[in-house]
A and B are shown apart, each in its own frame.
Chain A
């Protein structure tokens, strides 16, 4: 038995969050983030920062979900921050309502908790990139 990598389960071209949102995701911020945003796309970064397995086979992972977005050019009301918040809240809803019960190869997601709701975070004052960050605790029962 091995523990499932929650970041690999969620991120990447076939990751759960990518499939659910249609937005590109990864564990690192790509070097071409500015080009991605300028093309009108968004980006999701999933990054574990802590965790434990107090009960063997039950892996609890605390992870950050960072969302990067530019403004919606077709709607002046949707600034970069608003667009990032909208995606971050959509992800929160998906994480809390859809992820628990998801069966991955080698285990099943048994619980998802919000450690911290989506909050605006600084990124780079010189760029029009909105960033929201939230933290979740995902419990996976490995088999």
Chain B
């Protein structure tokens, strides 16, 4: 017995940009942001998003369709967020977002 499978490229493309796909990707982005909040170090609370008296901070999720595909982006506007993520001569990389993304990926 043989089975024939025909791929519908137009249907696949429509699925990748569908509202349900955007919502699914956004949900995963929210999970990344939740984990990142949980494992964030706290000194002033700005990076974690629990103290905005020093300026905007916290983790934000933007979602939509980019290049025909659903996409979610998790970001943190704190000026020193990149230093925490990737480290400098004076600070070991904490990899908050990287670890959160890997945790969601492997769950």
Chain A 34-64, CB within 8 Å of chain B: the 1/0 string? Answer: 0000000000000101111010000010101
Closest residue of B by beta carbon distance from A29: B89
Q: Is the CB of B88 within 8 A of A62?
A: no
* B82 on interface, CB distance cutoff 8 Å: yes
B residues within 8 A CB of A115? 98
On whether the beta carbons of B102 and A52 are closer than 8 Å, the reply is yes
Residues of B within 8 A of A133 (CB): 86
B106 touches A135 (CB 8 A): no
A47 CA / B95 CA spacing, docked (Å) = 11
The answer to whether the Cβ of A124 comes within 8 Å of any Cβ in the partner chain is yes
Evaluate whether A50 and B103 lie within 8 angstroms (CB atoms) in the complex, with A62-B98, A123-B88, A123-B89 already known.
Answer: yes
Instruction: Say if the beta carbon of A32 comes within 8 Å of chain B.
Output: no
Given contacts A122-B82, A122-B83, contact A50 B89 (CB under 8 A): no
| A135 and B98 form a contact (CB under 8 A) | yes
Say whether B17 faces chain A, with CB atoms less than 8 Å apart: no
Verify if A90 is at the interface (C-beta below 8 Å from B): no
Residues in A113-134 with C-beta less than 8 Å from chain B: 115, 121-124, 127, 133
Q: Is B60 in the interface zone, CB < 8 Å from A?
A: no
Assess A124 versus B88: contact at CB under 8 Å? Given A49-B95, A50-B95, A64-B93: yes
Chain A contact residues, CB within 8 Å of chain B = 29, 47, 49-52, 54, 60, 62, 64, 115, 121-124, 127, 133, 135
